[in-house]
Amino acid sequence: MKIYKKYIKPLSLLFLVFYQTVKSQNLFNKKTILELKLEYNNKQVKKNTDKKSLVYSDLIFQQESNWDTIPIFLNARGNFRRANCYFPPLKLNIKKSFSNNTLFEGHKKLKIVLPCLLQCRANDDVLKEYLAYKIYELVSNEHFRTRLANIEYLDTRGEKAEIHPLAVFVPENLRKATIYEGEEAFAAKKPKTHFLKAILIEDDKVVAKRNNAKVLDRFVHPLNQAEIPSITNAFFQFMIGNTDFSTAYQHNQKLIFQAGRTIPLPYDFDMSGFVNSSYAVVSNIQNTTLDITDVKQRLYRGFKRDEELLQKVRQSFIEKESSILELFEEHQLLFEDKKTCIEAKKYIQSFFIILKNDTKFKQEIIAKSREK
- Sketch the domain layout of the chain as residue ranges: 28-113+143-156+192-210, 160-188, 211-372
- Per-residue pLDDT of 80-136, as tens digits, reads 888 889 999 999 999 999 999 999 999 999 999 999 998 889 999 999 999 999 999
How many residues does this entry show for the chain?
Answer: 372
d(CA 91, CA 200): 10
Region of poorest pLDDT, from 45-49, 303-307, 330-334: 45-49
Is the CB of residue 10 less than 8 Å from the CB of residue 124? no
pTM for this predicted structure: 0.86
Report pLDDT for 18.
44
DSSP-derived 3-state class of residue 68: strand
Pairing verdict, β 186-188 and 253-258: unpaired
Spell out the residues 6+ positions from residue 80 whose beta carbon is closer than 8 angstroms to its own.
none
What type of residue sits at position 4? Answer: Y
d(CA 211, CA 207): 6
Give the model's confidence band at 298: pLDDT under 50 very low, under 70 low, under 90 confident, else very high.
very high
Sign of CA dihedral 162, 167, 170, 174: negative
- Per-residue pLDDT of 25-81, as tens digits, reads 489 998 899 999 999 999 999 886 667 789 999 999 998 889 999 999 999 988 888
Per DSSP, what are the bridge partners of residue 73?
56, 93
d(CA 8, CA 155): 54
Which of 114, 89, 94 is closest to 106 using CA atoms?
94
Spell out the residues 6+ positions from residue 354 whose beta carbon is closer than 8 angstroms to its own.
298, 360, 361, 364, 365
d(CA 294, CA 260): 38
Is the CB of residue 136 less than 8 Å from the CB of residue 102? no
Pairing verdict, β 261-266 and 109-113: unpaired
d(CA 363, CA 357): 10
Which of 251, 246, 244, 307 is closest to 270 using CA atoms?
244
Which of 274, 153, 278, 261 is closest to 216 using CA atoms?
261
